[in-house]
Structure 1
Amino acid sequence: MLVQDGLPTRERFRALLVIILGIVMAVLDGTIINLALPDITRELNATAAQSIWVINAYQVATLALLLPLAALGDIAGYRRVYLAGMAVFTLASLLCALADSLTTLALARVLQGLGAAGLMSVNTALVRLIYPKHLLGRGIAISSLVVATASVAGPSIAAAILSVASWPWLFALNVPFGLLSLWLGRKALPDNLSRSEGRLSPLDVALNALMFGLVFLGVDGLSVRIEAVPGGEPAGALWLPLAELAAGIVIGVVYVRRQLAQPLPLFPLDLLRIPVFALSMGTSIGAFCAQTLAYVSLPFLLLGNYGFSHLQAGLLLTAWPLAIVVTSPVVGRLIGRYSGGLLGGTGMALLSLGLVLLAVLPPHPSQLDIVWRMVLCGVGYGLFQSPNNHTIITSAPPHRSGGASGMLGTARLTGQTLGAVLLAMIFAMFDPQGGHGSFVALWLAAGFAAVAGICSALRMRQA
């Protein structure tokens, strides 16, 4: 089904449902398994260090294949890539649920990450096809809301499932939803009106996977070793993560030089020549880094510094995503009426202010003191995300929507990874349990949000 300017209302909602199902499953499976790691370690007779590969296998596979599959969407069609990704993800989820060893589970997670990359690489490009231009802002707002909500809902959903079932059900529940999405998606998802000419180079795909995979493993390994011993003294040998990081950088230099010489690069560096696109990418990386620094450190602050119970801390943290849920529909209507640079800059300013106010909380704050600051952060984040995503996807030519969608996902994962690594270093130098680690993380998060706001505001000069 080819479309000129969006789908009719009924078909649009059906197609959006398919995309929402895919986004929720792909994003949730990046975090939902964390809470089950102790059970997996015990039942599969693995060590805690080995069990981390259940997480890393998924993240590395997703990050390594996000851009190649986005480029494939530009060439072969976003619908085909999305449905193939859903089929692989659903099959891999079943294999994860049936895994009887850590090795088989990790391999199934690699396959699941491949499927997730297919879903996440082209979902925003499909939204651009589904919605007419004058309603595209609302469509991206819905997609951004789903990503933001799913990103922080993983632990809560995992806790609910694990309270009544064993860990394999975290994966098994994906199967019926995946099959439903495949059944609906075959008829509901539109096909590209125009496609890029060319083909994927196996060498470029391999270089892309090696670059992202080795860099991710290197920085993750360094953060784990630095965090292992308080005071910043590294624990264990550093040679392996340093070697991974160095190899990833060397491969990256070779890969980027190859890409710069190509008219239609797999790694769409040519899109960064568009000033608005480049500034939007900088805004996205800074914002996701700030969110990760803040949202992971806040439980330590609430539990360790202020002595709230786990239930109280969970409810207080919920104010942030709830504010995003309330803000996103309003922001979706503002897109197109006001500059994305203005909306994003204002949102990041509010987020930075909220983080600073959390960092200077009094020694014995009331729950209301914390809630309104959380709401301010959520409103700021909600004000930024949808307009920024809209700018990223619309500043690229229509036939490069897949590349832009892939870069959007890459910016999110890059920001989250950077935030996690910085937080590990902070907690290694400053005790997070009743110490200053959480406050340092919040100040740093406020700084990243401010830089993201500056990048966003600079876009107004490009309008």
Structure 2
Amino acid sequence: MMAVLAGIGLATLDTAIANTALPTIAADLRVDPAASVWIVSVYQLAVVATLLPIAALGEIVGQQRVFVAGLALFTGASLLCALAWSLPTLIAARVLQGVGASAVMAVNVALIRFVYPSHQLGRGLGLNAFVVGVGFAVGPTVASLILAAASWPWLFAVNIPVGLLALAFAASALPDTGRSGQRFDAPGALLNMATFTLLVLGLGEGTHDGPPWRIAAELAGAVVCGTVLLRRQAGHPAPMLAADLLRRPLFALSAATAVCSFAAQGLAFVSLPFLFQHTLGRTQVETGFLMTPWPVVVALTAPLAGRLSDRYPPGLLGGIGLAALSLGMALLAALPANPAVWDIAWRMMVCGVGFGFFQAPNMRAILTSAPPSRSGGASGIVATARILGQTLGASLVAACFAFADAGGPALALAIGAAFAGVASVVSFVRLRVRPEAM
């Protein structure tokens, strides 16, 4: 677990600190701030494009081997990022870092299934959610502290000792998850990469007011590639895009709640800074502190929710959590004109409690509703649902701004509350679904 948690902690923390450091990196490399956004974008695209192919590879060669290789690549790429002397070299290193992070995220949940006995699985998933929550919560603060004492390359150099320590644990302690004996479908992997890359690019273009023809072309390309991929892998015992698992009602409902909940989170995390700064007149520093209660409370709540999911149905815990998330986002959308800090903080805490109570139990439901031999595919779906939900949420924020202008943040939060409310209902529906035989 030390190896698994260190790996996912690095991948999460690196996402958060890179966002914070973009202005500093742009100034030091003497590049346009808009161009510096590629430092974050290529990392996210590398993760999205390779997540499911790497998850499928984990079932073929063993999740522990993929995790070690991904962690080694991430650590080595962190060194290359620290040594980068220009924007192109830094972007190239970030692509490699994104592939390494993708390998870690694609199999970490599957590995936890093999580390913990089934009656304690929720406890392990709760620890995983705790580390993710802490990473997002402390990322901006860690970045600010490092930049206050050193130059930006140290943001990436600090990954190296932690990565080496995690590799030392991983090489000797990770369980052997076995091999499926299937062959890796390289053309299917390329189709999968094209599908999700075009989908994320299309949604991103919509967020940034891209040309309509380009948005339509990218989304159409995603649909075509996805359709070809599904037809190519129809009947495959372990398809890359786990359509076979989606035929399991409990798995499909759990994946749907994941997409909706992360869409709600994406709507909140993108719109709230605009609400705090543009509508309420808070400074950037104040905004950072106001955003903190949500991930901090998630980190504190997730371990408890994980333990409870070993005793109570995930559908019940997830439904209660998502109802709380819906309530919290509705309360944020209805903030008074001049709220006090506490008025904002307690609403953020309600959202954090709700999301924290949903996350670990839902991951448990996804994993346990898939056969052990398909743990890699289930783990890949967990990570893909998170990325797609957050991307969808960010795109909807842009649509809210275009439709409601100054009222865009409040509208986005209201839509997020609706997403969480629908997901809560779907989660409670799981209580009526019987688990399938493995």
- TM-score by shorter chain over 0.5: yes
The question of 1:151 aligning with 2:139 is answered: no
Q: Distance in 2 between matches of 1:202 and 1:312?
A: 48
In the alignment, the residues of structure 2 paired with residue 314 and residue 290 of structure 1 have an alpha-carbon distance, to the nearest angstrom, of: 19
Which residue identity does 2:116 align to in structure 1?
Y
- CA shift digits 1:397-444 (9 cap, x unpaired): 01111110011000000111111111122223333xxx3121111101
- Aligned counterpart, 1:380: 354
Helix, strand or coil for the counterpart of 1:195?
coil
Structure 1 residues 127-154: Cα deviation after superposition (integer angstroms, max 9, x where no partner): 1111112211100011012223323443
- What amino acid maps onto 1:113 in structure 2? G
Amino acid at match of 1:90: T
> Cα RMSD (Å) of the superposition?
1.7
1:175 corresponds to 2:160: yes
The residue type paired with residue 82 of structure 2 is: A
* Residues 96 and 287 (structure 1), Cα distance of their counterparts in 2 relative to 1, 3 Å cut: same
**Alignment of 1:294 onto 2:268:** yes
Which of 54-63 and 295-304 deviates more? 295-304
In structure 2, the partner of 1:328 is: 302
User: Is 1:421 the counterpart of 2:395 in the alignment?
Assistant: yes
Is 1:134 aligned to 2:119, yes or no? yes
Contact 2:132–2:299 (CA under 8 A) maintained in structure 1 = no
Cα contact 1:349–1:380 (8 A) shared by 2: yes
Distance in 2, matches of 1:289 and 1:383, equals: 17
Deviations 1:228-257 (A, max 9, x none): xxxxxxxxx443343233222211111121
- What is residue 459 of structure 1 aligned with on the other side? 430
Q: TM-score, with normalisation over the residues of structure 1?
A: 0.90
1: distance between equivalents of 2:407 and 2:101? 37
Amino acid at match of 1:48: P
Match of 2:190 among 181, 206, 222: 206
Asked if the contact 1:224–1:424 (Cα under 8 Å) also holds between the matched residues in 2, the reply is yes
Deviation sequence 1:62-81 (CA, Å, 0-9, x none): 11111111111111111100
Q: CA deviation at 1:115?
A: 0.5
1:123 corresponds to 2:123: no
Residue 163 (structure 1) aligns with: 148
Matched, 1:221 2:205: yes
State the SS of the aligned residue for 2:209: helix
Cα distance in structure 2, aligned partners of 1:324 and 1:201: 38
Distance in structure 2 (CA, Å) of the matches to 1:244 and 1:361: 37
- Whichever residue aligns with residue 33 of structure 2, its letter is A
**Alpha-carbon distance, 1:102 to partner:** 1.5
Alignment match of 1:401 (pick from 360, 375, 396): 375
Cα distance in 2 for partners of 1:220, 1:308 equals 27
Separation in structure 2 between the aligned mates of residue 43 and residue 327 of structure 1, nearest angstrom: 39
Q: 2: distance between equivalents of 1:120 and 1:104?
A: 24
Question: CA offsets per residue over residues 68-115 of structure 1, 9 Å max, x none?
Answer: 111111111111000000111111111111111211111111111111
Higher alpha-carbon deviation: 372-381 or 273-282: 372-381
**Which runs of 5 or more structure 1 residues have no equivalent in the other structure?**
1-15, 227-236
- Deviation, 1:311, is 4.1
How big is each residue's C-alpha offset from its partner over 1:142-191, in whole Å with a ceiling of 9 and x where there is no partner?
A: 10122233234432322222222222111111111111111121111111
Write the distance in 2 (CA, Å) between the matches of 1:355 and 1:159: 28
Which of 412, 415, 427 is residue 441 of structure 1 equivalent to?
A: 412
More displaced stretch, 251-260 vs 413-422: 251-260
% identical equivalent positions: 50
How far is the alpha carbon of 1:325 from its aligned partner? 2.6
- Displacement of 1:46 in angstroms is 2.8
Q: Which residue of 2 aligns with 1:89?
A: 74
TM-superposed deviation, 1:342: 0.8
Query: 8 Å contact 2:136–2:295 — kept in the other structure?
Result: no
**Residue identity matched to 2:265:** Q
Asked if the contact 1:204–1:255 (Cα under 8 Å) also holds between the matched residues in 2, the reply is yes
My pick for the range that moved more, 262-271 or 303-312, is: 303-312
